[in-house]
Homo-oligomer: A and B are copies of this chain.
Amino acid sequence: MSSAYQSLREEALAANLEIPRLGLAILTWGNASAFDAQKGVLAIKPSGLPYGELNADSMVVLDLEGKVVEGRLRPSSDTKTHIVLYRAFGKIGGVCHTHSAHAVAWAQARRPIPCLGTTHADQTASPVPCTPMISAGALAADYERGTGELIVETFAGRDPLHTPMVLVAGHGPFTWGASAMKAVHGAASLEEMARMAILTLSIDPSAEPLPEHVMRKHWERKHGPKAHYGQG
Q: Which residues of A contact B (CB under 8 A)?
A: 22, 26-27, 29, 46-49, 73-74, 77, 99, 101-102, 104-111, 116-119, 133-134, 136, 139-140, 143, 170-172, 185, 188-189, 192, 195-204, 207-208, 210-211, 213-214, 217, 221, 228-232
Is B104's CB under 8 angstroms from A134's CB? no
A27's partner among B29, B49, B185 (CB-CB below 8 A) is B185
**Nearest CB in chain B: distance from A171 CB, A:** 5
Known: A192-B26, A231-B46. A202 touches B198 (CB 8 A): yes
Q: Give Cα distance in the complex from A119 to B25, angstroms.
A: 11
Is A105's CB under 8 angstroms from B200's CB? yes
* Chain B residues within 8 Å of A102, by CB: 199
**How many monomers of this chain does the complex have?**
4
Known: A47-B231, A171-B118, A204-B111. A199 touches B105 (CB 8 A): yes
Is A202's CB under 8 angstroms from B202's CB? yes
* Chain B residues within 8 Å of A29, by CB: 119, 192
Q: Give Cα distance in the complex from A172 to B202, angstroms.
A: 17
Which residue of A108, A139, A143 has the most chain B CB atoms within 10 A of its CB atom? A108
Is B221's CB under 8 angstroms from A77's CB? yes
**Nearest CB in chain B: distance from A175 CB, A:** 13
Is A117's CB under 8 angstroms from B143's CB? no
Least CB separation from A118: chain B residue:
B171
Q: Give Cα distance in the complex from A104 to B117, angstroms.
A: 8
Is A47's CB under 8 angstroms from B230's CB? yes
* Chain B residues within 8 Å of A27, by CB: 185, 188-189
**Nearest CB in chain B: distance from A192 CB, A:** 6
Known: A139-B217, A171-B117, A188-B27. A207 touches B108 (CB 8 A): yes
Which residue of A74, A101, A139 has the most chain B CB atoms within 10 A of its CB atom? A101
Is A229's CB under 8 angstroms from B199's CB? no
List 28 A–B pairs whose Cβ atoms lie within 8 Å, in order of A's numbering.
Answer: A26-B188, A26-B189, A27-B185, A27-B188, A29-B119, A47-B229, A47-B230, A48-B230, A48-B231, A74-B228, A74-B231, A99-B119, A104-B199, A105-B199, A105-B202, A108-B116, A108-B197, A108-B210, A109-B207, A110-B207, A111-B204, A117-B172, A118-B172, A119-B172, A139-B213, A139-B217, A198-B202, A202-B202
